[in-house]
Structure formats: structure tokens, C-alpha cells
Amino acid sequence: METRYYSDIGQMPMPPGFRYAKTAARGRPRHEKFDTFYMKHPTMNVGKRAKIFSPFDALKGFNDAVASKEIRYVERRELCESDCEELNEKIAVLSALITDSRAANENSITVQVTYYVPCDDPNSEAFMRLGRYVTIEGVVRNVDTTFGSITVGKERIGLGNVAAIQII
């Protein structure tokens, strides 16, 4: 009796009486470029295909740790007096325009706020020493001068961390 080999697997012999011998002998299905099956099921690129076969993260948290090392942290910059005065004027203007939620919806003032976020990653050497500056853009919802915060979109920012406000 002749021993057949799987063409896709390599040199593994086909067992005698194999149930799917005819299907294995036919090989992989080939479709024309404009076949209806090919149009419904195009070939997947290699990058996406590789993701299918990686069901778990072998080293749990390793990718997050590597990604946290790529973040560049800087020291907090102190604002000079002229920058502080300009920032206080902009906050006063925004506070006057947005007295309540109805005024916030009517005026719909879009701003770009740059603020300081301290490093909160306990595995980083910059933890609680350094931070980074983040810029967000959105509609001002509230300016609370009593507790010192400004709400842009859904983000609440302490006024002490604000470095710059640009009204768009």
C-alpha cells in the first residue's frame, strides 16, 4: 500500500483508512479573483492573521510596562507673572460667560487646554516626581472658581494644573 503525505503539514504520513483522504488529496481550495466566494471571503493579510493565533499575553503586564517606558516625563514648569495674569483673565472671561449649564449650552465655547498630569505609574522612576503635559480640546461645561476647577467636555481639570488656555 502506498503511503501518502499531507502536502500542507509536511512529511506526516496519512494514516490508513483516513476518513478525509479525498479532501486532503484535493489540497487547498483555489478561487478565482472575481469568484462569488472570493468576493464574500477575501484573503486576510498576514498581520491580521497573526493576531488570530495569539490568544493570550504570555507575560501579563509586560506590554504595558514597555509602553509606560516610552512616555516622556518632564518637570513641571512654573508660570511667570504675565502668563499667570493672562491665564486668570481667560478664566474670568470663561467664568462670566458660563454662569450655569444653560449659559454653557447657549454659548458653547470651545477651548484648547494644556495641563500638567503627574506620573501615576508606580513602576516608573518618574512616579510622583515628574509628569507630562496633555492638551485637550472641547466645549467648556463649567468653571468653578470656588474649588478651582474647569470642566472641558467630560474632563475635570484643576486650575492649579492648567498651563495654557486657548479660546477657539
State the pLDDT at residue 158: 94
Per the prediction, the chain carries an average pLDDT of 84
pTM exceeds 0.75, yes or no: no
State the pLDDT at residue 76: 93
| Mean pLDDT by groups of 10 residues along the chain of 168 residues | 52 80 82 81 80 72 81 92 94 86 79 94 85 94 90 93 93
pLDDT in tens, 54-80: 666 678 788 877 887 888 899 999 999
In the chain, what's the furthest Cα-to-Cα distance?
Answer: 94
- How is the beta sheet containing 162-167 ordered, strand by strand? 155-158, 149-152, 131-144, 110-118, 162-167
Delimit the domains of the chain by residue range: 81-167
State the pLDDT at residue 11: 64
State the pLDDT at residue 54: 67
